[in-house]
């Protein structure tokens, strides 16, 4: 199997190989431009996220793909679903706003909780942090596609699956090449 792939690469002349590399580069750069464009339009550093746990069931299930916006001019409200990052953690959390405290000086603090959790999120926040602020918010959920993100979860939980998918894509490209 891999021997035949190697033979295919050896039979390619330099122009065909350069064309393949250039095509791959254009696909990658197009995806990056679309991502950056979504970031600008939505105002969110991550306009699309995957729900990784069941803490928001029944509203969202593990593997749902969320579309986010982050309007800085609109205040955070109770009941709104926000995606936030905690200092020292890489993975953002998707939970609902439980309480909001707005002070007279214009500052806002809020508390979150997963719909399927028994207690609020203070145990998830950074040590000593009791409330979130608007700068902790990555975005606010505006829509979702159910279970579309399961592909991402499977690839992260089963790394060998990534290689199998890449190998299949490589074979497909070699077989269906002009």
Active-site residue list: 55, 95, 121
Contacts for 165 with CB less than 8 Å, ≥ 6 apart: 155
Q: Quick one: which H or E segment has residue 20?
A: helix 14-42
Angle of helix 2-11 relative to helix 159-175, nearest 10 degrees? 50
Q: Residue 64 and residue 70: Cα distance in Å, rounded?
A: 19
| 3 state SS of 57 | coil
Q: Which of 96, 5, 112 is nearest to 58 (CA)?
A: 96
As a whole number of Å, the end-to-end CA separation of the chain is 20
């Amino acid at each position: 199997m891999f021997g035949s792939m190697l033979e295919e690469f050896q039979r390619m002349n330099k122009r065909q190989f350069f064309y393949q590399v250039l095509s791959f580069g254009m696909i990658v750069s197009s995806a990056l431009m679309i991502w950056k464009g979504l970031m600008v339009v939505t105002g969110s550093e991550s306009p699309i996220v995957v729900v990784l746990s069941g803490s928001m069931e029944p509203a969202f299930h593990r593997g749902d793909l969320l579309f986010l916006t982050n309007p800085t001019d609109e205040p955070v409200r109770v009941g709104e679903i926000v995606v936030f990052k905690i200092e020292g953690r890489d993975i953002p959390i998707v939970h609902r706003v439980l309480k909001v405290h707005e002070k007279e000086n214009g500052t806002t603090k809020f508390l979150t909780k997963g719909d399927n959790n028994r207690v609020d999120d203070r145990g998830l926040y950074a040590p000593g942090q009791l409330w979130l602020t608007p700068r902790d918010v990555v975005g606010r959920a505006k829509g979702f596609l159910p279970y579309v993100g399961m592909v991402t979860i499977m690839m992260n939980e089963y790394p060998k699956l990534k290689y199998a998918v890449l190998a299949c894509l490589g074979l497909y490209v070699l077989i269906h090449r002009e």
